[in-house]
Amino acid sequence: MIVEKFRALYGRAPEIVARAPGRIEFIGNHTDYNGGTVLGASIDRAVEVALARRSDGEWRFASEGRGPAVVLKARGPFKQAGAAAWVNYPLGVLASLPKFGLRVPAGFDYLADSNLPVGAGLSSSAAIELASAFAFLRATGEDAPLETLVKAARDAENHFVGVPCGVLDQGVSAFGRENHLVFIDCRGPRFETVPLPPEANFWIFNTHTRHALIDGFYAARHRECAQAAREFGVALLADVAAAKKGEAQGWKWEVKDGLLEILPADRELPPWLKRAKHVVEEIARVDEAVAALRAGDLARVGRLLNASHRSSRFLLENSTAELDFLAEALAAAPHVYGARLTGGGFGGAVMALTDSAFDDARARTVAATYEKQFGKAPDILHARTGDGASILKG
Ligand code: ADP
Ligand code: MG
């Protein structure tokens, strides 16, 4: 398909086609910047990038449905604005490759095409970055470890586009595998795949809500977690479990069976302590989910997803009435193992893990009750796992 579109646009066949999938944050809410662990799913929807080299030193960028090609002289990537702003994603990759000792193609015709919704929390941005990185690398004939491409793609998003995303997005898109989840120890980062029973299905309910103060809320969570680490006397909250017990500002704490127990128990916890309790216990839930997956026990995985949502709601306090409503309605629905908010929170989407019998009709029933309450239906997306980034041609 993309080969035909490329030919129609540029009058010749592409030499290279690369693809990279979107991803779902499966469990591990706000654990990444605390040095913790997270599980993600690469899904069966992806961005494809087709490329053919040019010898006249021009970079020609086009994306299906985004108007005529943007033509740039291959002389240092300059940031684009307006309708061409999407080009900053592949341009950012071109700006990052040399930082990792990799070359940049001298000239090319480029076309992106995608069946991944944009801005739906499925990280179409990481997908276009990685598909681009794969295509550019193939065009220069160089080789690099997957870890390096993950770093270059993330660097593009953090420093060229200017979005402070974690390693989950690019890591899962790169390391994903059909019928597997990707486990990431964010500190390495270290990537591993964990088998997921094939009856597992994902249903994403996107509320299209976004709290007006969202950036400030994210910054506050980063600050509170950093403060908590200082109070606990550790570098990152991921280190609390190994420290086992101690005292912080008059609070006695102890990690027992994955729980952060805090005394006295009858006093309201200050924000930094609530965030710490969430992060420490969420990391334990990720590890427990890996064990449950290895045992093929999706019911147990589902209970962990529900517990993760409650923790985000009451301890991390990054949920909303809309997300709580969906998570609860879904968790109570037949054929659903569990449900939780996915992503940064303060709006966005809820993910349900279901068996194969959950279907469109059941999803629409949940969406209809939501619409009655909140006046607007959420978008529904059904996904299964899919393979990570790869070269399809060339
Ligand atoms: P998300 O990653 O959750 O989908 P982002 O706002 O991080 O949302 O990234 C979306 C942006 O990525 C789009 O606005 C666009 O600039 C770029 N993008 C994603 N997919 C494509 C595509 N197929 N073609 C062009 N740009 C794309
Ligand atoms: Mg994104």
Which spans in 345-388 are helix H? 360-374
DSSP codes, 2-63? HHHHHHHHHSS--SEEEEEEEEEEEE-TT-GGGT-EEEEEEEEEEEEEEEEE-SSSEEEEEE
Write phi, then psi, for 165 (nearest 5 degrees): -80, 155
Count of CA atoms in the C-beta half-sphere (13 A) of 250? 5
Q: Are 201 and 336 in contact (CB under 8 A)?
A: no
Return the number of other C-beta atoms located less than 10 Å from residue 363's C-beta: 21
* Torsion of the alpha carbons at 293, 295, 301 and 304, rounded to the nearest 10: -110
Ligand 1 — pocket residues by CB below 6 A? 47, 63, 66, 85-86, 89, 112, 114, 118-125, 128, 163
**Ligand 1: nearest atom to the Cα of 118:** 4
The pLDDT tens digits of the residues spanning 328-345 come to 999 999 999 999 999 999
Share the mean pLDDT of the chain: 97
269: which DSSP letter?
Answer: P
| pLDDT at residue 165, as a whole number | 86
pLDDT reported for residue 76: 66
Q: Say what the pLDDT of residue 347 is.
A: 96
Q: How many CB atoms lie within 10 A of CB 75?
A: 8
Q: Beta strand 108-114 with 201-210: parallel, antiparallel or unpaired?
A: unpaired
Does pLDDT of 282 surpass 90? yes
DSSP string, 129-180: HHHHHHHHHHHHT----HHHHHHHHHHIIIIII-----SHHHHHHHH--TTE
pLDDT in tens, 98-141: 999 999 999 999 999 999 999 888 999 999 999 999 999 999 99
CB distance 103 to 111 below 8 Å = no
Which residues are the active-site residues? 169
User: What tokens appear for 352 in the block?
Assistant: 């349900």
Burial class (CB in 10 A: 0-12, 13-18, 19+), 163: middle
Phi, psi of 152 (to 5 degrees): -65, -40
Q: What spacing in Å lies between the alpha carbon of 119 and ligand 1's midpoint? A: 6
- Four-residue CA torsion sign, 307, 380, 175, 187: negative
| 169-198 per-position pLDDT tens digit | 999 999 999 999 999 999 999 999 999 999
* For residues 222-232, average pLDDT: 98
- CA 12 → CA 109, 115, 126, 334, 384, distances in Å? 10, 23, 28, 51, 34
CA 263 to chain centre: 35
Closest among 330, 332, 327 to 313, alpha carbons compared: 327
147 CB burial (10 A radius; 0-12, 13-18, 19+): middle
Which numbered ligand comes closest to the C-alpha of 122? 1
The closest residue, in CA terms, to atom 18 on ligand 1 is: 125
**For the CA of 123, the nearest ligand:** 1
361-376: average pLDDT: 98
Ligand 2 center–CA 121 separation, angstroms: 7
Mean pLDDT, residues 74-94 taken together: 90
Query: How far apart are the CA of 123 and the centre of ligand 1, in A?
Result: 7
Structure confidence at residue 77 (pLDDT): 67
The pLDDT, as a whole number, for residue 273 is: 98
